[in-house]
Structure 1
Amino acid sequence: MINTFRNGVAMAVAALALGACASKGQPTAQYDFGPPPTQTSSASTVGALIVADVTGPAALDSERMYYRLLYADARQSRPYAYNQWTATPFQLLTQRIKTSLSHGGVKVLSATDAAASATVLRMEVEEFTQNFDSATSSQGLLRLRASVFRDHRLVDQKTFSSSKPAPSADAAGGVRALADASDAVAAEMLTWLAALPPSK
């Protein structure tokens, strides 16, 4: 009986402490993808390439970080309350992929350099989220469709997908997993671009 009373008091104290913390407000943690990995593949045969900004669902056009509880309701995307990106996922992915291509030997141009190249890479995100398959296990999933155009004609199109395990079941773990998934997709994209027929 005494132990039960003590446990009840301890829980009440913990609840009051959490309430006090919540009332004071919690600072928002901001994340990006971190330093890019060391480049191991090359697509130097691609030459100059205009890389358009990544596009995708409107929900990803903000700094909010989302996750899904696959074991509870896979159809519901939930935002983290006190964690966010330093830029939109579109902006982070655009910069990361440009960096990876550049390190792989590709001459990366922006859309304003249209006169310098007739080859354009366009990318559309289909999925970018941290998926929990249990309360303690999650993966970062990136799936995007890439299309290469030359002189406004489609040369090739491919969907890339990568899922990487999160080292921890929280926002920081999701960031690491999504960064790793993004780097894996960028590496696959380099190999794909290098295999495309050269421009004439």
Structure 2
Amino acid sequence: MNPTRSSLDVALAASALALTALLTGCGSLPDRPARATLYDFGPLLTAPAPAPVDAAPLPTLSLAEIEASARLEGTQILYRLSYADANELRPYGQSRWSVAPNQLVYQRLRDALAQRRTVLNREESATMARTAGRVPRTLRVSLDEFSHYFESPARSAGLVRLRATLIQSAAGGDSVLAQRSFMVQRPAPSTDAPGGVKALVAASDAAIAELVTWVDQVR
């Protein structure tokens, strides 16, 4: 018997066993955590309504960043079970907004307002005040509720609540021109995160439409 050949056979067999053990071990490793599904409001597809021919142009408006509670400044998609505990906000595990809800609402509101007037952010408004000596009205909005609301295990809706304040700034200080709250619910097509997203987008668009109409009417 050739001792060299025997030693080589033993080494090859040992390598094969080690490779088999390695492959078996890899197969037993836990799967990668699933990536969260990201949602936003999607494109704004509604065409602006044509303004009446004799309508006066609407004044320039400054839109402040939308305020929200700390819980709504994150990207979690939140739901409430009113039949269990309506005071508890719960997050969906594998579904998130692409950015915080107050930012999504801000962009949607700005797009809606800009269909009929010039809309400035805070920096643009400050520049206008310095260069033109005019301070436009400021719209401040707070997002007070933004959740997938379950009335029962089989029935749910997107619930959005906004509070809007229209302010005029002057040398003597700010004055409140008008203030109003808006609360809108829209039924969810399914009792899960995708259904909640669709309902919240629909409720947000409806609340924003009401808010824009209200702003346009304040004189």
AA aligned to 1:111 is R
Q: Does 1:126 align with 2:134?
A: no
1:186 alignment counterpart: 208
Distance 1:98 1:62 in 2: 21
1:61 alignment counterpart: 73
SS at match of 1:72: helix
Give the unaligned 5+ runs of structure 1. 1-19
Once the two structures are superposed, residues 100-123 of structure 1 have per-residue CA deviations (whole angstroms, 9 ceiling, x without a partner) of 1112x1211000022434210000
Higher relative contact order (CA 8 A, sep 6+): 1
TM-score (norm: length of structure 1): 0.82
Counterpart of 2:177 (choices 155, 158, 161) is 155
SS at match of 1:25: coil
User: Which protein shows a greater Rg?
Assistant: 2
Once the two structures are superposed, residues 45-76 of structure 1 have per-residue CA deviations (whole angstroms, 9 ceiling, x without a partner) of 43210000100111111111110111111111
37 and 184 in structure 1: CA distance in 2 versus 1, 3 angstrom threshold: farther
1:27 alignment counterpart: 35
2:16 alignment counterpart: none
Distance 1:53 1:41 in 2: 26
Q: What root-mean-square deviation, in Å, do the aligned CA atoms of Structure 1 and Structure 2 show?
A: 1.9
1:51-200 to 2 correspondence within 5 Å?
51-103=63-115, 105-115=116-126, 116=128, 117-151=135-169, 152-197=174-219
Give the unaligned 5+ runs of structure 2. 1-27, 129-134
Percent identity of paired positions between Structure 1 and Structure 2: 37
TM-score (norm: length of structure 2): 0.75
SS at match of 1:26: coil
- Give the number of equivalent residue pairs: 176
Distance 2:213 2:47 in 1: 12
Distance 2:48 2:204 in 1: 15
Q: CA deviation at 1:133?
A: 1.2
AA aligned to 2:121 is S
Instruction: Tell me if structure 2 keeps the 8 A contact 1:50–1:108.
Output: yes
Instruction: Tell me if structure 2 keeps the 8 A contact 1:39–1:100.
Output: no
Q: CA deviation at 1:27?
A: 2.1
58 and 67 in structure 1: CA distance in 2 versus 1, 3 angstrom threshold: same
Instruction: Tell me if structure 2 keeps the 8 A contact 1:57–1:126.
Output: yes
